[in-house]
């Protein structure tokens, strides 16, 4: 994720800033994992406390980046509001509830952009003949 997939001169500033935030978020989460592993393997209690402090700082940094994404991108705001601080089951239930997956009442059909216009993906199921 550290490289652009399109020529940077073709990307708007908000897209480049979102990329910076996403790459930074990836790095912060990776650092949390590293500190967590070091804590688990550490035999010195004082060092373990330092590592725990460092891990918690990385969690704070990751949280700030998520909040920046939420504030600056409505799509992130929508998804984070649905998933975070909820007691609802994680997984497809969140999508179904929002009407994104099944195309049920009030929702967009799978493979559409919400307006009913197909995105050209179609079903990924292989038709079986008998």
Tell me what pLDDT residue 122 has: 46
Do 30 and 65 sit in the same domain of this protein?
A: yes
Residues 78 and 27 in one domain: yes
Separation CA 25–CA 32 (nearest Å): 11
Residue 103 lies in a domain: yes
Which structural domain, as residue segments, surrounds residue 123?
A: 88-130
Domain annotation covers residue 3: no
Look at the pTM and tell me if it is higher than 0.85.
Answer: no
pLDDT 10s digit of each residue in the chain, 130 long? Answer: 558 899 999 999 999 999 999 999 999 999 999 999 999 999 999 999 999 999 999 999 999 999 999 999 999 999 999 899 988 888 887 775 565 554 444 444 444 444 444 444 444 545 444 4
List CB contacts of 67: < 8 A, sequence separation 6 or more: none
At residue 110, the 3 state secondary structure works out as coil
Residues 123 and 105 in one domain: yes
In terms of Cβ atoms closer than 10 Å to its own Cβ (0-12, 13-18, 19+), residue 28 is: buried
Based on the domain organization, do 18 and 66 belong to the same domain?
yes
């Amino acid at each position: 994720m550290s490289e652009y997939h399109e020529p940077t001169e073709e990307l708007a500033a908000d897209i480049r800033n979102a990329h910076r935030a996403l790459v930074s978020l990836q790095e912060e989460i990776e650092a949390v994992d590293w500190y967590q592993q070091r804590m688990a393997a550490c035999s010195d209690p004082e060092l373990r406390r330092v590592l725990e402090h460092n891990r918690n700082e990385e969690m704070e940094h990751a949280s700030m980046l998520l909040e920046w994404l939420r504030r600056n991108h409505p799509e992130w705001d929508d998804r984070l509001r649905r998933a975070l601080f909820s007691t609802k089951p994680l997984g497809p239930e969140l999508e179904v509830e929002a009407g994104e997956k099944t195309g049920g009442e009030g929702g967009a059909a799978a493979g559409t952009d919400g307006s009913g216009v197909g995105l050209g993906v179609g079903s990924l199921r292989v038709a079986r003949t008998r």
